[in-house]
């Protein structure tokens, strides 16, 4: 079921008290990483954007300061002299129009470039995110709901779009505007500037306090959104089970609980963020009124000029009042963007958390799997093309390599393992196999059968002991090569969207159509495939929902067979196939297993009677092993499982 989302509290029961300080550190770290992505591919475009923003801010300031010149240098003298010569004023207006035209062009160029920068950055981010996810161990996907991971790609990445394309440029523009406007205000009037600074400090404190409150709730909203997506994904995949057991009401109740948590966190986050703009707007108006009163008083009393350090003319006062809007508006703009910025930082934290997950490491790996050809004297030589002969390329101390034929011998020696450190599931596993043997693993549910096959593939690393593959410690074999040498049919079949031919070819990407058809014939899947609407070109979707469970399993077996691997793992490969189909599949599987090492997990003991070694497991331990006849003669656990009789 979906994980519970607990809304934490700070010291004393207050929400978010610690998060504001914590968010500052993590927020800056996330911003630096976002900028690293921007500069990786769009350094020059972003620099051009910054230059355009600078020019746009300067042109806006120029038009504001022109108000002072317009009143003091043109309007007032013309009124006083009753002059009708508008030529100087017209020339000044033409120059101002040219400056504003440059600002319009830069603003247009800025917006066009940021669209490309924003979308391109998200493209690279999603690409790197997916590539990194493909390198993560199976353990990560076992511990995280798939819907929550999908939410990182959709919701969390999308929150960065608004920040990159709009919020960051606006913050930069606001910083430039505040800086140049402040300098201009100091030059025009020091007393009025001090008044503006005091009132602006109040705006900053209000914005910061509300920002800390909303930051906490935005982080919780992203977590709640991921939990809800995970639950929806779980319910969609298990819809038949839900309906079979009439669990609709309970499912709806659980969804409503998660949905209410999402609504609650979203409401609180947006409530704190959205009241910032009205509060700052009213404070800005208050600053304007106070500055107008103080400035009018100074302008009407010439004796105050010494106090104001400069003569405050009507033009200066009008220009200063306009500058107040230019000074306070950027603060309001930043606070207006706090919603998307904090939301984006909460999403960025989840994105980079996935990016920082530890990938699978080959560590001490040095052995590769190569194609080989037989040379004189029975020696093997590496081949650049597929030959059907696979060999391990083992480095020697002198820097040379020797080739050892891949046989499929797997040996366990005193292996201990647990999925988590606190709970061990395998104890002192010792097992020796020879090339070409069929090894069957049997036992009750939870005995550790599937775990052993997971360890052979190195989906997980053991805590103790060694696993040798053809005499080589599997930790010295590159994971990709190790898994390429093992064909595997899982108990849970998964087919991808595409044709039947493409799904079979998934087992060997360079396989020809003839090889795929041959693999299908080998496992007796050919007859039902050619009976489909378009045969091998029939498109499968929704995990092969238009096929029966047995037909999906046959395609999965053909997919494993097409690669012709030297060793195979069959985890309940016939568990979803009816008795009649099982006989057909068993014939094909017997042909597949001929000459190659095979590990078979089966609950139907009738399918493993002809195994070379039958390993009986119970609670993570090997309690019996031998042939079918030997185990029956022992009259132990296998005898009970096979006959259903209890030994007195």
**Residue 214, token pair as written in the block:** 């909303």
Q: What residue ranges of the chain are covered by domains with CATH 3.40.50.300?
A: 410-643
339: left (phi over 0), alpha (psi -120 to 50) or beta: alpha
Position with higher pLDDT, 135 vs 327: 135
Residues in the chain: 648
- Helix (H) / strand (E) element for 593: namely helix 579-593
CB atoms within 10 A of CB 404: 15
> What letters, b where the CB count within 10 A reaches 16 and e where it falls short, cover 460-473?
bebeebebebbebe
Q: What is the pLDDT of residues 33-57, one digit of tens each?
A: 888 888 887 888 888 888 888 888 8
Q: Residue 304 to residues 178, 191, 324: CA-CA distances in angstroms?
A: 27, 11, 21
In contact, 611 and 551? CB cutoff 8 Å? no
R_g of the chain, CA atoms, integer Å:
36
Query: How would you class 22 by CB atoms within 10 Å of its CB: exposed for 0-12, middle for 13-18, buried for 19 or more?
Result: middle
What confidence tier does 235 reach under pLDDT thresholds 50, 70, 90?
confident
pLDDT recorded at residue 509: 85
Q: What is the pLDDT of residues 81-97, one digit of tens each?
A: 776 777 777 887 888 88
Any idea what DSSP says for residue 192?
H
- Beta-bridge partners for 88: none
Candidates 320, 306, 242; CA nearest to 64 is 320
pLDDT of residue 415 exceeding 90? yes
Mean pLDDT of 169-178: 79
Candidates 30, 344, 355; CA nearest to 165 is 344
Candidates 467, 454, 466; CA nearest to 601 is 454
Candidates 215, 216, 223; CA nearest to 152 is 223
pLDDT recorded at residue 505: 92
Looking at CATH, the fold of the domain delimited by 410-643 is given as: Rossmann fold (3.40.50)
Q: Cα–Cα distance between 570 and 603 in angstroms, integer? A: 12
Q: Would the pTM count as exceeding 0.95?
A: no
Position with higher pLDDT, 11 vs 607: 607
Q: What is the pLDDT of residues 239-249, one digit of tens each?
A: 877 877 778 88
- What are the backbone angles phi and psi of residue 117, rounded to the nearest 5°? -65, -45
Q: Cα–Cα distance between 179 and 177 in angstroms, integer? A: 5
Please identify which residue in the block is written with the tokens 């410690």.
473
What confidence tier does 12 reach under pLDDT thresholds 50, 70, 90?
very low
- State what percent of residues in the chain have pLDDT above 70: 88
Which CATH class, in words, describes the domain spanning 11-355? mainly alpha
Q: What residue ranges of the chain are covered by domains with CATH 1.20.1560.10?
A: 11-355
- Helix (H) / strand (E) element for 624: namely strand 621-626
């Amino acid at each position: 079921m979906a994980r519970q989302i607990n809304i934490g509290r700070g010291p004393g029961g207050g929400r978010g008290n610690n998060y504001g300080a914590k968010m500052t550190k993590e927020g800056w770290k996330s911003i630096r990483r976002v900028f690293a992505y921007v500069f990786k591919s769009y350094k020059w475009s972003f620099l051009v954007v910054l230059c355009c923003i600078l020019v746009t801010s300067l042109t806006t300031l120029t038009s504001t300061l022109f108000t002072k010149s317009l009143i003091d240098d043109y309007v007032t003298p013309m009124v006083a002299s009753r002059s009708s010569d508008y030529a100087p004023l017209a020339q000044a207006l033409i120059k101002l129009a040219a400056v504003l035209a440059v600002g319009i062009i830069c603003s247009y160029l800025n917006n066009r470039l940021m669209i490309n920068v924003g979308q391109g950055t998200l493209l690279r981010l999603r690409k790197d995110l997916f590539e990194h996810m493909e390198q993560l161990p199976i353990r990560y996907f076992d511990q995280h709901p798939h819907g929550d991971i999908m939410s990182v790609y959709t919701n969390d990445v999308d929150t960065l779009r608004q920040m990159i394309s709009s919020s960051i440029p606006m913050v930069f523009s606001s910083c430039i505007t505040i800086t140049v406007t402040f300098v201009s205000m100091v030059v025009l009037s020091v007393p009025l500037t001090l008044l503006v600074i005091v009132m602006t400090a109040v705006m900053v404190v209000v914005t910061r306090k509300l920002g800390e409150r909303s930051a906490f709730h935005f982080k919780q909203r992203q977590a709640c959104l991921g939990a809800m997506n995970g639950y929806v994904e779980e319910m969609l995949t298990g819809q038949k089970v839900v309906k079979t057991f009439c669990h609709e009401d309970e499912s709806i109740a659980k969804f409503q609980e998660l949905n209410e948590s999402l609504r609650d966190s979203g409401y609180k986050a947006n409530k704190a963020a959205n009241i910032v703009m009205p509060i700052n707007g009213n404070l800005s108006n208050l600053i304007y009124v106070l500055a107008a009163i103080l400035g009018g008083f100074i302008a009407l009393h010439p004796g105050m000029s010494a106090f104001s350090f400069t003569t405050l003319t009507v033009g200066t006062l009008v220009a200063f009042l306009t500058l107040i809007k230019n000074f306070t508006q950027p603060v309001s703009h930043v606070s207006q963007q706090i919603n998307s910025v904090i939301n984006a930082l909460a999403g960025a934290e989840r994105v980079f958390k996935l990016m920082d997950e530890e990938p699978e490491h080959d560590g001490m790996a040095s052995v590769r799997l190569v194609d080989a050809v037989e040379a004189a004297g029975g020696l093997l030589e590496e081949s650049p093309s597929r030959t059907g002969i696979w060999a391990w390329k083992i480095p020697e101390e002198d820097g040379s390599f020797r080739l050892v034929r891949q046989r499929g011998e797997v040996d366990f020696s005193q292996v201990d393992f647990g999925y988590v450190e606190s709970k061990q599931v395998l104890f002192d596993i010792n097992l020796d196999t020879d090339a070409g043997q069929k090894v069957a693993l049997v036992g009750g549910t939870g005995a550790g059968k599937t775990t052993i096959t997971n360890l052979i593939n190195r989906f997980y690393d053991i805590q103790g002991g060694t696993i040798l593959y053809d005499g080589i410690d599997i930790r010295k074999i590159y994971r990709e090569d190790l898994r390429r040498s093992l064909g595997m049919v899982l108990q849970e079949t998964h087919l991808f969207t595409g044709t039947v031919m493409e799904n079979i070819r998934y087992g060997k990407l360079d396989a020809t159509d003839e090889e795929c058809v041959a693999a299908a014939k080998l496992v007796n899947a050919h007859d039902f495939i050619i009976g489909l609407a378009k045969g091998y070109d029939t498109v499968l979707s929704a995990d092969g929902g238009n096929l029966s469970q047995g037909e999906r399993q046959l395609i999965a077996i053909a997919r494993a067979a097409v690669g012709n691997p030297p060793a195979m793992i069959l985890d309940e490969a016939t568990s979803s196939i009816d008795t009649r189909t099982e006989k057909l599949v068993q014939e094909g599987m017997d042909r597949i297993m001929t000459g190659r090492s095979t590990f078979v997990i089966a609950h139907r003991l009738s399918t493993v009677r002809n195994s070379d070694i039958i390993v009986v497991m119970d609670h993570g331990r090997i309690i019996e092993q031998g042939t079918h006849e030997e185990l029956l003669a022992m009259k132990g656990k296998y005898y009970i499982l096979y006959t259903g009789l209890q030994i007195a």
